[in-house]
A and B are shown apart, each in its own frame.
Chain A
Amino acid sequence: MNTVLVIQSLISGIMMGSVYALLGVGFSLTWGVLKVINISHATFGLIGAFLAYTLLKWLGMDPIFSLVVSVPLLFFLACLIFRFLIVPITKAKDVIVTSMILTFGIAIILENLMLLIWSPDPRLLTTAYTSKVLILGPFYFQYPKLAGFLMSAIGVLVIHFFLKKTYTGKAVRAAWQQPDAAQLYGINLRRISMITFGIAVASAGAGGVGMAFLYSFDPHAHNLWLIYLFLVVIVGGVGNVLGAAFAGLIIGVITGLSLAFLPYQWVNLLTFGLLMVILIIRPHGLFKGEV
């Protein structure tokens, strides 16, 4: 057995999976807390990627620093969308299905706007450290993947501690666990829901930058990214922040090991086959569905 290849594939897979986790954590949160399946979640990630690309090209700003611009911007945009588009559909009989239809529409509109602004050409984030590597013995740690991994670790932990330690975060959890009781305790459900949606979308922006470190992207890329989102949520459990993080890592490990041991054409089959097995055995995901 080629141990170096196996470990290298694992390292690479874990770093890749962690980025999926950052992109997916907000998707899970929106689904769990608001019962909104935000099909446009990956599209917001793509906006984050395009903003990073533009700021890098125009101002030479590092994509990680571009988050200072894109995260608040996406948070604000998400609050507006929540106020004017999501709130009205909360009165619908079936919020989940209605939200899917609505956010699918939002995704199409955003995709077309991106096509107008950035054209359909594929893009790459190329920074000074794009081709740099940290070499530890026989193992290579590519800087862009490391950057994505660190961004993901920080992002997931920030969201986790926000939910566990802050008053607003606790209110979000209360709203998820007992919405009626939370209201009785004076929690403004609409405000809390708006903040949750804002955080989720803003985290997608950060996840989008992480994805752009790994892959080329164009305005249609969100369709593919959305598949990874579902994968993360289904494996990690709806609404579970740390579950999403572990799900990303698990997906990364499986992909890495598949690439090391199996013919490459089996990798996607195995990854999505696993998704089906998890759905059959644990329909609520590997981890308990709780914010």
Chain B
Amino acid sequence: MKKVLFLTLCLSLVLFMGQRSTVRAADKPLVIGGSLPLTGKFAETAKWIEKGMKFWAEEVNAKGGLLGRKVTFKIYDDQSNAGKAVTFAEKAITVDKVDLLFGGYPGTAARAVMPVAEKHKFVYVSMGGHMKSFQQGYTYSFGGPPLMGEWWYEGFYQWVKSLPVDQRPKRAAVYTMNNPIGTSLMDSINRMSKDLGVKIVINEKYNLPLPDATPLIMKAKQMNCDLLFSSGFFADGVMTVRTAKALNYNPKAIVQGVGSIIPAWVKELGKDGDYIFSGTVLHNKLGYPGNDKLNAYVKKTYNLSGYPLYFGFGYAWMQTLSQGVEGAKGLNQTKIRDWLKSHTVQTIAGPMSFDAKGLPAPVNYCTQVINGKVELVWPKEVRTAEPIYPKPAWK
């Protein structure tokens, strides 16, 4: 009898402890870890990513959390160092034992973290490090949405295609920074040249920092190029545009790479920054669900008329990851990956279905700076302003 009583007591105790631990697991916050460059040269942008992610968490937690658990972040500062981003990704997975990994920034860090995520079989949703990083056979990495250099001028290319043949530019001067981002931008330029018959008259790469843009512009002017591609960052981009103005070089269109869609372009160049074409995969004026809400939030919190691009990226990556978790109904990374590869996610950048590489169908919107605002000019269905072409002469 005593034996039976003892066994019953033990069983009750085990059941009680089990119940308690179940309650504890549900109470335990769901930790999403990784690193962002919160100091160093990419800090300003990364802080917007962090804000976007935290706004997403705020929203999710207000609705009861993810899988019923409150979401918290374990964010390390990788000091704008891709090597440290790798170390912190390893630490988050192996030491902190986080539940999920969040996407890093910039592309160099994302590219470096992708093999770490693959090694530990952790789903990694980020901007990616351009096409090459998605061609390495990684199965756990997703660009949701990606920042793909190879697609950067796709929107511009499609818009030029829509122009009557006699109005299209004929001769292009292409100046490209000699790094993986710059060279990835050549992809759509080459396709455009082949498809639309735009002759590439000058095709030069330069190493950063660009010491002087005068010879570049003078050559483009002398060779009557009516299309200028300045595929660089902010510093070389503004130098090229300013020199074009000083030398009174007036091509039909100037297309700039990464520099012209950041707020500093408009703020610092003023009217001289107008009419520059570029591309983007995300924009606060897109009509997809959620954009209005984000715009309202940044208006209220930061007094901004629209959310900054990287705020949107931080939010969108978390949208993709969380839909994978909800779809897989748990934190099994392989199940999350498989769900993401077989379903469509809804994000502020639009609906996305991922291919074997973890990429959605190529998407790029053509932008143009008009009256100090980055406007969407192509495709027509997302257009926020009529494109201004040919570019008015410098005043």
Contacts and interface: CB of A to CB of B under 8 A. Distances in A.
Contacts of A13: 211-212
Contact of B205 (A121, A124, A132, A263): A263
B370 interface: no
Contacts of B242: 130-131
B239 A215 contact: yes
Interface in B33-78: 40-41, 43-44
B133 interface: no
B235 interface: yes
Given A16-B212, A264-B204, A123 B268 contact: yes
Nearest to B43: A120
Contacts of A110: none
Contacts of B245: 131
A259 B211 CA distance: 9
Q: Considering residues B210, B246, B263, which has the most beta carbons from chain A within 10 angstroms of its beta carbon?
A: B246
B214 interface: yes
A49 to B, nearest CB: 13
Interface stretch (A2-10, A73-81, A173-181): A2-10
B44 A121 contact: yes
Interface stretch (B24-32, B216-224, B300-308, B317-325): B216-224
Contacts of B248: 133
A162 B178 CA distance: 44
B394 A12 contact: no
A264 B211 CA distance: 10
Interface string B242-269: 1101111000000000000001100111
Given A119-B44, A123-B268, A264-B206, A131 B394 contact: yes
Contact of A5 (B207, B219, B270): B219
A133 B246 contact: yes
Contacts of B234: 122, 216
Interface in A252-289: 255-256, 259-260, 263-265, 267-269, 271
A263 B246 contact: no
Interface string A155-174: 00000000000000000000
B99 interface: no
A116 B105 CA distance: 22
A260 B44 contact: no
Contact of B246 (A4, A131, A220): A131
Interface in B264-285: 264, 267-270, 272
A142 interface: yes
Interface string A105-146: 000000000010001111110100011110000001010000
A255 B264 contact: no
A224 interface: yes
Contacts of B267: 121
B215 interface: yes
B164 interface: no
B268 A216 contact: yes
Contacts of B178: 265
A261 B268 CA distance: 32
A4 B222 CA distance: 10
B238 interface: yes
A120 B37 CA distance: 13
A173 to B, nearest CB: 33
A13 B212 CA distance: 7
A115 B239 CA distance: 23
A12 B217 CA distance: 12
Contacts of A224: 209
B266 to A, nearest CB: 12
A5 B216 CA distance: 10
A265 B41 contact: no
B205 to A, nearest CB: 5
Contacts of A140: 214, 246-247
Nearest to A271: B211
A43 to B, nearest CB: 15
A268 B41 contact: no
Given A121-B44, A124-B238, A265-B205, A12 B246 contact: no
A138 B76 CA distance: 55
A255 B272 contact: no
A159 B300 CA distance: 54
Nearest to B394: A131
B275 to A, nearest CB: 15
Contact of B207 (A12, A16, A268): A268
A12 B205 contact: no
Contacts of A271: 211
Nearest to A220: B41
A273 B207 CA distance: 14
B246 A16 contact: no
A150 B264 CA distance: 29
Given A9-B212, A264-B210, A265-B178, 13 more contacts: A4-B218, A16-B211, A121-B263, A132-B246, A133-B246, A140-B246, A140-B247, A142-B214, A214-B212, A216-B235, A263-B205, A264-B216, A271-B211
14 contacts: A2-B222, A9-B218, A12-B212, A16-B212, A121-B44, A121-B263, A121-B267, A122-B235, A215-B239, A216-B235, A216-B238, A220-B41, A265-B178, A267-B206
Interface of A: 2, 4-5, 8-9, 12-13, 16, 115, 119-124, 126, 130-133, 140, 142, 214-216, 218, 220, 224, 255-256, 259-260, 263-265, 267-269, 271
- A-B interface, 4 closest residue pairs, ranked by CB to CB distance from nearest: A264-B206, A12-B214, A259-B215, A124-B268
